[in-house]
């Protein structure tokens, strides 16, 4: 049973929800003021360099081209633990997913001067590239799965530094098959151009996952998601999204922090004790999803109530 839900200052209005259901995204909205975010990040980036309490080992984190090094730092960082539970985020996520919500993953997405953009893609069960679903929604009649992602800009994210791009309304139908096999080639990284834009996907060509080999993304409909530091955007992972390259016109890196949410009824990392990622794998022995709203009544999910340093997660 769910806990009594406290008043939600940042809940989405009926019109905002209708727009979200039509377009697949909501925002930008403010989580931190610009100067506040800049000051916080100056402090926290130094603390995050210490991985002594991170749940994934340094050796694995530094191997290959996997992004695991940037995963789930909310499980050891008090700042990030508080971030994923902020009412500016959770109230809006609850508007979409209901009263009982897990944060099951977080990721840093850095982009340095000269880095390529990210291929157009969708994510439903996050099986790429291992072929093992990382999320399983209940029931057979759910017309989509996926996750709600809240992507917060910790630095400037614009058309020069490599902001996100969305194609509105593409979240209701998957045009990619996450069970298909693709060819990994690290030599592709920062070397390929697609439709005139430097894009890649961690050594893969995401077009190889297309259900229809002749499908072409209609980039004329793409909308850039320009965010100031401290602003966020909320979207379905099944929404067609990409990012632009960092054109090098500034020396500042672009850094986004993605927190991913599902209802507690969703099974997270079912029937596995390992997380498989591009170029590597890690044990889930120290992993746990975080209940950010309501209560968890799903015994299959591992739950973390505190960070590895003892900082409690705040549940709405």
Question: Looking at residue 24, which CATH number applies to its domain?
Answer: 2.60.120.620
Of the pLDDT bands very low, low, confident and very high (cuts 50, 70, 90), residue 59 is low
Distance CA 23, CA 313 (A): 31
280 pLDDT higher than 80 = no
Q: What is the DSSP string of 103-172?
A: EEEEEEEEE-TTPPEEEEE--SS--TTTT--SEE-SSS--S----EEEEEESS-BSTTTT-EEE-TT-SS
pLDDT in tens, 118-170: 999 999 999 876 778 899 999 855 556 899 999 999 999 999 999 999 999 99
CA 161 remoteness from chain centre:
18
> For residue 2, what pLDDT is reported?
43
Query: Starting at the edge strand that comes first in sequence, how are the strands of the sheet with 290-293 ordered?
Result: 25-30, 231-236, 148-153, 254-263, 101-111, 290-293
Contact criterion met (CB below 8 Å) for 260 and 170: no
137: in domain: yes
313: in domain: no
Burial of 141 (0-12, 13-18, 19+ CB in 10 A): exposed
97 pLDDT higher than 70 = yes
Stretch among 8-17, 66-75, 149-158, 164-173 having the lowest mean pLDDT: 66-75
305: in domain: no
31: in domain: yes
312: in domain: no
Percent of the chain clearing pLDDT 70 (strictly above): 92
240: in domain: yes
Contact criterion met (CB below 8 Å) for 194 and 163: no
Of the pLDDT bands very low, low, confident and very high (cuts 50, 70, 90), residue 1 is very low
Domain span at residue 143?
Answer: 14-293
> For residue 4, what pLDDT is reported?
47
> Which one has a higher pLDDT value, 13 or 3?
13
302: in domain: no
96: in domain: yes
> For residue 6, what pLDDT is reported?
58
- Decide the pairing of beta strands 193-194 and 254-263: unpaired
> For residue 143, what pLDDT is reported?
54
> For residue 164, what pLDDT is reported?
98
> For residue 210, what pLDDT is reported?
84
Longest CA pairwise span in the chain (Å): 53
Look at the chain and report how many structural domains it folds into. 1
């Amino acid at each position: 049973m769910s806990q009594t839900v406290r008043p939600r200052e940042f809940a989405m209005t009926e019109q905002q929800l209708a727009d979200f259901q039509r377009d697949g995204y909501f925002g930008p909205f403010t989580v931190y003021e610009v100067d506040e975010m800049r000051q916080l990040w100056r402090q926290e980036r130094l603390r995050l360099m210490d991985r002594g309490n991170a749940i994934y080992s340094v050796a694995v984190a530094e191997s290959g081209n996997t992004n695991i090094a940037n995963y789930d730092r909310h499980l050891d960082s008090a700042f990030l633990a508080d971030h994923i539970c902020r009412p500016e985020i959770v109230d809006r996520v609850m508007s979409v997913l209901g009263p009982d919500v897990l944060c099951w993953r977080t990721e840093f997405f850095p982009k340095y001067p000269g880095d390529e953009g990210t291929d157009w893609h969708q994510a439903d069960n996050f099986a790429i590239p291992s072929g093992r679903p990382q999320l399983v929604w209940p029931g057979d009649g759910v017309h989509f799965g996926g996750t709600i992602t809240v992507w917060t800009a910790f630095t400037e994210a614009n058309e020069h530094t490599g902001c996100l791009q969305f194609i509105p309304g593409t979240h209701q139908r998957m045009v990619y098959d996450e069970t298909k096999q693709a060819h990994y080639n690290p030599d592709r990284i920062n070397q390929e151009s697609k439709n005139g834009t430097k894009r890649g996907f961690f050594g893969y060509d995401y077009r190889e996952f297309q259900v229809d080999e002749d499908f072409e993304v209609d980039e004329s409909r793409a909308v850039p998601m320009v965010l100031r530091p401290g602003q966020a955007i909320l979207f379905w992972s099944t929404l067609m999204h990409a990012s632009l390259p960092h054109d090098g016109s500034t020396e500042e890196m672009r850094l986004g922090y993605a927190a991913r949410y599902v209802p507690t009824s969703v099974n997270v990392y079912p029937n596995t004790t390992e997380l498989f990622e591009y170029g590597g794998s890690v044990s889930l022995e120290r992993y746990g999803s975080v209940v950010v709203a309501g209560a968890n009544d799903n015994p299959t999910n591992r739950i973390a109530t505190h960070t590895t340093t003892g900082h409690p997660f705040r549940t709405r």
